[in-house]
Amino acid sequence: MHPLRIVFAGTPEFSVPCLQACRGSGAEVVAVYTQPDRPAGRGRKLTPSPVKEAALAAGIAVEQPESLKTIEARETLAAYRPDLMVVVAYGLILSRKVLAIPRIGCWNVHASLLPRWRGAAPIQRAILAGDAESGVDLMQMEAGLDTGPVLLERRTPISREDTGGTLHDRLSLLGADVLMEGIARVMAGETLAAQAQAETGVVYAHKLEKAEALLDFARPALALEHQVRAFDPWPVAEGDINGERVRIWSAQAVEQDRPAPPGSILCTHRHGIDIACGEGALRVTALQRAGGKRITAADYLNARPELRSAR
């Protein structure tokens, strides 16, 4: 019996563990599709995606079409004779004609518990919304945006210590785990049961915009804590502290012991800087000045001694 022939499609670092899972499953990864090299860094040098780098290191053929809508692109894909196409944060929409090429169809590893958080930024949106739980779904792809039936699922709690970065890394590994199981079961002759998504509870995770990073202290402190955590490591929350715009890397919602205008400093202490909010207070514990590096609130207060008098 010939091994399962897989074409893998992915682009960012999140996708790399899933590519490694395909390689380690006993299946044959016959090609990797990824986004074209893009300018990056201060020099705007053309830079390969993390998935391309991993594929080249493994000696796998790499395809980087701008689109899969052309006949030529579909013919190239079909020439690899894939049994299965695995798609993980690829960045291109697959048409019905593309979805029909692999014998088993196309699977997607999606970083949410569908139908909640369909779309581009499910990890950060879950933290922003204060969700208690997230996870990854292995989904049979359809033409709609993340609408296909779910084959397998893994769940994980979201703690108050989680950031966009820590949850990203955990879900990346969970995605590889659930994908490995799915491939193993198919290679053992099993047909995975496809569970249609619920028609209620559909929420879209729109792409993150840098403008969303600005903190509005008139909002509840807990919502701002979610914002700070979700936007670490990108785009990083920003706020004004007594007239200075800074990036805020770490903050917690705390009780406000007295009424004060939103945005005003309630007190400063060894634990951080407490800023009045619409509800409660935000305790800033790590931040970054313009042109500087990430520092603790204590170091910031050493640089701005006039704030240490706040009570």
Does an H or E element contain 287, and which? strand 281-288
pLDDT tens track for 237-271: 999 999 999 999 999 999 998 899 999 999 999 88
**Is the bond into 115 cis (omega within 30 degrees of 0)?**
yes
pLDDT at 60 over 70: yes
Q: Which residues are annotated as a binding site for (6S)-5,6,7,8-tetrahydrofolate?
A: 112-115
- Same domain? 221 vs 72: no
- What distance in Å separates the CA atoms of residue 34 and residue 36, rounded to the nearest whole number? 7
- Same domain? 157 vs 193: yes
- Same domain? 80 vs 11: yes
End position of a domain, from candidates 205, 233, 257: 205
- In the chain, the amino acid numbered 223 is A
CATH code, 189 = 3.40.50.170
pLDDT tens track for 69-115: 999 999 999 999 999 999 999 999 899 999 999 999 999 999 999 99
- Same domain? 102 vs 229: no
- Same domain? 83 vs 144: yes
- Same domain? 70 vs 194: yes
Q: Which two tokens stand for residue 243?
A: 């007239």
- What distance in Å separates the CA atoms of residue 307 and residue 274, rounded to the nearest whole number? 11
- Same domain? 74 vs 25: yes
- Same domain? 277 vs 161: no
**What's the number of domains the chain is made of?**
2
**Do 200 and 210 meet the contact criterion of CB atoms below 8 Å apart?**
no
Q: What is the pLDDT of residue 2?
A: 75
What number is the average pLDDT over the span 181-190?
96
- Same domain? 187 vs 239: no
pLDDT at 30 over 60: yes
Domain encompassing residue 83:
5-205
- Same domain? 58 vs 177: yes
End position of a domain, from candidates 205, 234, 264: 205
Q: What is the pLDDT of residue 311?
A: 47
**pLDDT over 90 percentage in the chain:** 92
- Same domain? 62 vs 10: yes
In the beta sheet, which residues pair with residue 295? 287
**Do 91 and 82 meet the contact criterion of CB atoms below 8 Å apart?**
no
Alpha helices in 16-57 (DSSP H): 16-24, 50-57
What number is the average pLDDT over the span 178-199?
97
Average pLDDT, the chain: 96
CATH code, 266 = 3.10.25.10
- Same domain? 164 vs 32: yes
pLDDT tens track for 131-170: 999 999 999 999 989 999 999 999 999 999 999 999 999 9
Confidence at 309, pLDDT banded by 50, 70, 90: low
Q: What is the pLDDT of residue 3?
A: 87
**Do 234 and 164 meet the contact criterion of CB atoms below 8 Å apart?**
yes
End position of a domain, from candidates 167, 183, 205: 205
Question: How would you label 185-212 residue by residue, b for 16+ Cβ within 10 Å and e otherwise?
Answer: ebeeeeebeeeebeeeeebebeebeeee
